[in-house]
A and B are shown apart, each in its own frame.
Chain A
Amino acid sequence: MGGQPGEHPAVLIGSIFYSNHKIVKDPIRGEFSKGDAENLIKHQEEMSDKTGSPSFLDVVGSTSEALVKYVDFVAGITDLPFLVDGSNATVRINAMKHAMEIGLQNRVVYNSINWSIRHDEIDALKELRVKSAIVIAFNPKNPWPEGRIEVLRGTEERKGLLKLAKDAGIKNTLVDTAVTDLVGLGLASKAVYLVKNKFGVPAGCAPANAITTWNRGKGEFGRHGYDVCIASSCSMVQMAGANLIMYGPIEWAGLVFPPCAMIDGLIAYTARKLGTKTASKDHPLYKIF
């Protein structure tokens, strides 16, 4: 992940066991349809193999009990890296502790370090020796792209989130530039470019956060129109240089992988003329066309 444009394709991250996910029967105890979950994960893997766009999973849980069960299931069924994404710090830390205990150090990404993080959460991450984390560049006091830079860098009054991640022992920091609403997607895209430029860390965002709240888009333009908007929103952040795209429900894999792979292929081909080579032959440039 990362590098110069055209070197590595964007990592596409689908969410599973999210709030109201129909495969989840009991979100408190973490009961779900294993067959359906396996099919969804395998489908994302197939799309990834077919297109050359790499993938992660965003494993979401609302309780420690549930998230630990999801972590066990996902770890057993796929070799993909995955984000451990809980509804609060306690849930996330408990699940991370379990993940570290069963040897998933190199596969799990803590989701997330954000504006509201407390010292005990930082201490816990350090103690667990968590290697990778998403850092959310959300700045409630300044919603513009520069505000995201400020919250990462820090101010005189407040330590920056990148420094906090370092304090927590994080080696691999992935910045999520925080989509606030649909129009905020443009701001988050610009922030992706700025973050990479200023800090040299991989960055991306979650266009789905905006698209799923767009009721008019869902209702007025029909399924086809809405689907094209989902794919376009991912393509937009990709063109801003996103290294990671949290594309939304894993069910959208079929919608998102082809256009994102195509665009990564186009970026790589253009970059080739500037002297940048793809990092491997698994790149979409060699698979999608």
Chain B
Amino acid sequence: MVDEKDILRKLAEDVILCNPEGAREDAKRAIELGISAYEAIDEGLIKGMTVVGEKYESKEYFVPDLMAATAALNAAFEVLKPYLKVERAEVTGKVVIGCIKGNIQDIGKNIVAIMLTMTGFKVYDVGPDVPPVKFIDAAKELNADIIAVSVTMLETIPYLRELENGLRKAGIRDNVKLLVGGKALSEDVAKDVGADAYGKDAREAVEKAIMLLVNKKI
């Protein structure tokens, strides 16, 4: 008999093995077994995606594998999404999220995007390898509260500065908070580039996003 642990393990495997059909089916089975959508995401999908990230770092996986794993994760997420309870989603901010130009590794960004969505944010994912001006255009168009940026390549940090300057030049810096994260950054670097907050991992990024939103509204 399949138990809760088996299903969570299978969900992680579906992501690792890039199997969208399996992920969709296992997400349905998780719900049928009474597993909360949050747990299925946290303990299944995100665990799987973390392994995919490790495999990418060790050059066992490549860009097509990342895309296929993300597709599997999204397939399951679509099934789980309606079961994300509203009471946990008390925040109602808009976040534009993406990886700054030169960064194609978007696993961390994808995980943060999912966790922000779970928390109740409206998330607009502009994707990997995004020039600063596209973040600014999206933030203006959507009237976003937060721009969340992932930076995994050290040499692309100057683009963060360009983004921060661009927000000022566009006259929207006071309206849009800049949240940054990714393995190329630290708290100090984040301050240095003028970011409003730094999240060292996905959970902290979400906590900081909530704080930014709360402070903005005070």
Contacts and interface: CB of A to CB of B under 8 A. Distances in A.
B214 interface: no
Contacts of B62: 181-184
B71 interface: yes
Interface string B49-78: 000000000000011100110010010000
Contact of B71 (A141, A181, A183, A187): A141
Contacts of B64: 143-144, 180-181, 183-184, 187
Contact of B63 (A141, A144, A184): A184
Contacts of B74: 141
B63 A183 contact: yes
Contacts of A182: 62
B67 A140 contact: yes
A142 interface: yes
For chain B, give the interface size range.
Answer: under 10
Contacts of B68: 142-144
Contacts of B71: 140-142
Contacts of A143: 63-64, 67-68
Contacts of A141: 67, 71, 74
Interface in A151-191: 180-184, 187
A181 B68 CA distance: 14
A184 B71 CA distance: 17
Contacts of A144: 64, 68
Nearest to A180: B63
Interface of A: 140-144, 180-184, 187
Interface of B: 62-64, 67-68, 71, 74, 104
25 contacts: A140-B67, A140-B71, A141-B71, A141-B74, A142-B67, A142-B68, A142-B71, A143-B63, A143-B64, A143-B67, A144-B64, A144-B68, A180-B63, A180-B64, A180-B67, A181-B62, A181-B63, A181-B64, A181-B104, A183-B62, A183-B63, A183-B64, A184-B62, A184-B63, A184-B64
Given A140-B67, A180-B63, A184-B62, 11 more contacts: A140-B71, A143-B64, A144-B64, A180-B67, A181-B63, A181-B64, A182-B62, A183-B62, A183-B64, A184-B63, A187-B64
